[in-house]
Homo-oligomer: A and B are copies of this chain.
Amino acid sequence: MKNEVLYSFTYGMYAVGVTDGKQPSACIVNTVTQAAGQPNMLTVSINRKNYSYACIHRTGLFTVSVLSEDTSGAVIGALGFQSGRAGNKLENIRYKMLQEGVPVIKENSCCWFLCKVVDKMETPTHTVFLAEILAGSDRMVGKPMTYAYYHQVIKGSAPKNAPTYQKPTPDLAGNDGESFICRICRYVYEDQIVPFEELPDDWVCPVCGAPKSAFQRQLRAK
C-alpha cells in the first residue's frame, strides 16, 4: 500500500477553539466527523504534541467552527502552522468568546458548535475525542471549505502534527527551477508571470503568513 491512497478520504476544514483556563487559542483540523445523531456527537483526532490537546485534556471543552471557502489562507496559516505555546494565535483573528470560555472563529466561518468531551481513544500519536454537541449555530452561512478545495485552490498542505500528514514525495521531474517552497507550510510558489525574486520584500506566504525569507528554491531532480 502507498500512503498516497489515504488522500482519497474526504474531509472538511475546521477550526477547533480551546482555552488553557486563561487565554483562548485555536487550531486547524480536518478530522471532524459526526458520530451519532441522538444526541448529536462528533469525533475529532488531535496530536498529543499540540497545545490544543493539552487544553482539551484539561478543560474537556472545545468548539468547532466550520470554515467556509471564503476563509483566507492567512487565517488557516495563523491557526494551523504555529503553536499556541509560542504566543497568542488569535491576535489578528476575529473571534467570539462563548460564555463557557472557549472561542469560536468568525473569519468567514459557516457555523459553530460547542462540544463537551465524553470519551476518548488513544493512538500512538493522536487522541480521538468523542464529544457531545451542547449547542451550535441556528444557521449556516457560506459554502463549507473541503480539504480538497484547500489543497487545490488555496494550495495548502497538512501541518506536520495532522493525522493526515504525509511526508511530501519529491517529484521534481518537471521542475524548471523557478518554484519556491515555504519551509513552514510547504506551499509552493510557481507563478509563471512574476518570478519569486521579483515579489516585494514584504510579500508573505498566502497560506501561513511566513515571510519571503522562509521560502527556498525547489531543487531539480537529479
Nearest CB of B to A206, in Å: 22
Count copies of this chain in the complex: 2
B-chain residues with CB within 8 Å of residue A122 when the two chains form the complex? 119
| A33–B45 touching, CB < 8 Å | yes
Determine how close the nearest CB of chain B comes to the CB of A194; give it in whole angstroms: 32
Q: A43-B43, A138-B1 are in contact. Are A9 and B36 (CB under 8 A)?
A: no
Using A119-B121, A121-B130, A147-B10 as known contacts, say yes or no to A140 and B34 having CB atoms under 8 A apart.
Answer: no
Is A137's beta carbon under 8 Å from chain B? yes
Judge if A22 is at the interface, Cβ distance under 8 Å.
Answer: no
Q: Which A-B residue pairs are the 8 nearest by beta carbons?
A: A10-B12, A1-B136, A36-B123, A8-B66, A5-B111, A35-B45, A36-B126, A119-B121
Residues of A within 8 A of B (CB): 1-13, 31-43, 45, 66, 110-111, 113, 119-126, 128, 130, 133, 135-140, 144, 146-148, 163-166
